[in-house]
Amino acid sequence: MTKGLFEPGSYSVRAAGHNGSLPMEVTLTDDRIKSIEIDTSGESKGITSPVFERIPKAIIEGQTLNVDTVSGATVTSKGILAGVADAIEAAGGDPEEFRNRPKYQADQADSPDEKSADVVVLGSGGAGLSAAIGAIDKGAKVILLEKFPSLGGNTTRTGGQINSADPEWQKGFDAFPGEVNNLKGIYQMDEANIPEAYRPQFRELKDELEKYFADMEKGENYLFDSENLFCIQTLLGGTRKDLDGHVTYGNYDLVSNLTHKGRQTIEWMKTKGVEFDEEHVTEPVGASWRRAREPIPTGGYGFIDPLQKYFTQQGGEIITDCQAKELLVEDGKIVGVKAQYSNGNDLTVHAKSGVVMATGGYSANYEMVKKYDNYWGNLPETIPTTNSPALTGDGIAMGLSVNAALVDMGFAQLMPSADPITGNIFSGIDCPPSDFVFVNLEGKRFVNEYGTRDQLCQAIFDQGGLIYNISDKNIAATRFNSTDEQLENDIKNDACFRADTLEELAEQINIDPEVLVDTIEKYNQYVEDGHDPEFNKGSFNYKVEVPPFYATPRSPATHHTMGGLKINVNAQVINEAGEAIDGLFAAGEVAGGIHAGNRLGGNALIDIFTYGRIAGENAASNR
């Protein structure tokens, strides 16, 4: 009797994933790989979903480990291949023989080389899907191109916290200690330091604040907000000076339009199937104010899934694995794009009305970040990114080819609370800033944790680039967009540390226990007093006092490129002569001028959905 290739059975192995290793069950007959089951409960939904379908399917159909990785999810692709190899070896087989087998080639139907639509949208993140829906709701035929195999772009990697000023809703929540002091700081600002275009709104805001302060003195306690506060905070959050001494701030028309349409955007998204948690108001890192809500389910998937379903139900066409390469121009008008499928075949898509650029920024392109950087000055080559590998600046390059103007390209925002290795912002305890307790490698606080993202990043760089966020059971319950399974996975992979006492936690992260305990005791007193005399932290929520205690390693990572194609309030791309380029629109991170030198946490999402919709509607009307 001939011996088979394997000892038949099911073998438990693990595969590397975006959030750590994942359990796999590989079932083998005596000569075949029969099935591959992957437990994805520890993964962020939507980020690597195509991998879990494509790679196992290719392995089983081809009976080979010579399989191409999925673009944008290389680590997870290789992890699945390595896990199956481990199972083969455990079953007495030879993984190398399977690696040397002929490469798997999927059966491919003939791909059309030419298509036509009214509007062509490039990119399937929140901006792209909003643009596609905005156009299709106007009666346009819409084709959306996505260069990666899965939809969602960078939006699937967000925590999901989206800003909008909604005073009636926010009034249902109590103010945190310290928040009124933040408002008084804005109220007391010298109007001379406010750009002239913003001054009328600043004066209106001061009137609103006077009423709020009077209410607080009468014993009323509620969370204040207004569109004027949102506008002024967005202005202040984006005002920055580059290394040459040039000061930039957000274009008034763009910022005012965004902050006054935020609530309208939320209501519009609800009509497209997005559900929101209205029971909680929160703030992501560097948000400056509690005005964010989250989708249900949490994270970017909560936006992408319903919007994609709505678009396709309305007859929209999505083509994945197809990258736009060149804009087509006739008589000064953008009339389509040349693209290329992942198999190398070309596709030309004609656009009767316009093309919407929603290709994202370039945080995943270190060379491009370094080329334009005029703010940080010396970013390390090893700096990770929170972004999808798709964000390489394709749209910027295509825009430049048709003489589009650029704005604020010298600024790149870093995320201070990212995993030092992977750039993952959801690892460990990714809590709201009001609950941050940052300590350096000596176990001491070193910054106002409520600061802006660039302030926090520079402070972390000053500490050597690595710090820990200390938290407890109560704070862990507030964490963004991560499951208990993910947390356990992070602890297993040293992306988070847990102990029953602060002393034990300090020992795990090589910090003097006495120093850490003293730091936390002082911090807890500041929370109780509602005042931080060391760093003047502006808002507190929980003390760090209920075991178990956690320490999450954190370092800066490239997160959002502030500059991009210059646009107007109609999302039309502007050329070097200051004129709108006929047929070309842009929304999302590929566009500049709104956030200027730095972006408030939670503003990216309201930006992409607001201006995405505007871009799509105007492209459809550009007959």
CATH code: domain of residue 435: 3.90.700.10
8 Å CB contact between 552 and 559? no
**Residue 95 maps to a domain:** yes
Quickly list DSSP for 386-440: SS-TT-SSHHHHHHHHTTB-EESTT-EEEEEEE-TTT--SSSS----GGG--EE-
Residue range 573-590, pLDDT digits in tens: 999 999 999 999 999 999
Residue range 124-170, pLDDT digits in tens: 999 999 999 999 999 999 999 999 888 999 898 888 999 999 999 99
Give the rounded percent of residues in the chain with a pLDDT score beyond 70.
95
8 Å CB contact between 335 and 310? no
**Residue 457 maps to a domain:** yes
pLDDT at 2 over 60: no
The per-residue pLDDT for 42 is 62
Q: Which residue has the higher pLDDT, 290 or 422?
A: 290
Structural domain that includes position 74? 9-100
**Residue 15 maps to a domain:** yes
Q: What is the spatial distance between Cα 16 and Cα 159, in angstroms, rounded to a whole number?
A: 22
Q: Where are the alpha helices (DSSP H) in 493-602?
A: 502-508, 513-529
pLDDT at 105 over 80: no
The count of structural domains within the chain is 2
The per-residue pLDDT for 321 is 87
**Residue 71 maps to a domain:** yes
The per-residue pLDDT for 592 is 97
Active site residues: 453
Strands 240-241 and 549-561: unpaired
The per-residue pLDDT for 541 is 85
Domain end (from 557, 577, 608): 557
Confidence band of 1 (pLDDT split at 50, 70, 90)? very low
Domain end (from 523, 557, 591): 557
Confidence band of 342 (pLDDT split at 50, 70, 90)? confident
Residue range 201-249, pLDDT digits in tens: 999 999 999 999 999 999 999 999 999 999 999 999 999 999 999 999 9
Q: What is the spatial distance between Cα 356 and Cα 119, in angstroms, rounded to a whole number?
A: 7
Cβ burial of 49 (10 Å; 0-12, 13-18, 19+) is buried
Residue range 16-27, pLDDT digits in tens: 666 666 788 999
CA-atom Rg of the chain in angstroms: 25
Average pLDDT over residues 81-97: 92
Residue range 522-559, pLDDT digits in tens: 999 999 998 899 999 877 889 999 999 999 999 999 99
Kindly report the CATH number assigned to the domain that includes residue 75: 3.90.1010.20
Q: Which two tokens stand for residue 158?
A: 């967000």
Average pLDDT over residues 305-334: 96
Give the rounded percent of residues in the chain with a pLDDT score beyond 90.
75
**Residue 46 maps to a domain:** yes
The per-residue pLDDT for 284 is 84
pLDDT at 48 over 80: no
- Distances in whole angstroms, Cα of residue 360 to Cα of each of 392, 518, 562, 586, 620: 8, 44, 11, 10, 21
CA atoms within a 13 Å half-sphere pointing along the CA-CB vector of 153: 31
Residue range 472-499, pLDDT digits in tens: 999 999 887 677 878 888 898 899 999 9
**Residue 199 maps to a domain:** no
Residue range 508-524, pLDDT digits in tens: 999 999 999 999 999 99
| Torsion angles phi and psi, residue 197, rounded to 5 | -60, -30
When the pLDDT of each residue in the chain is averaged and rounded to a whole number, the result is 92
The per-residue pLDDT for 18 is 60
8 Å CB contact between 281 and 174? no
The per-residue pLDDT for 106 is 65
Domain end (from 512, 538, 557): 557
CA atoms within a 13 Å half-sphere pointing along the CA-CB vector of 219: 0
Q: Of 35-39, 184-188, 279-283, give the lowest mean pLDDT range.
A: 35-39
pLDDT at 287 over 70: yes
**Residue 74 maps to a domain:** yes
**Residue 552 maps to a domain:** yes
pLDDT at 115 over 70: yes
Residue in 518, 357, 549 with CA at minimum distance from that of residue 444: 518
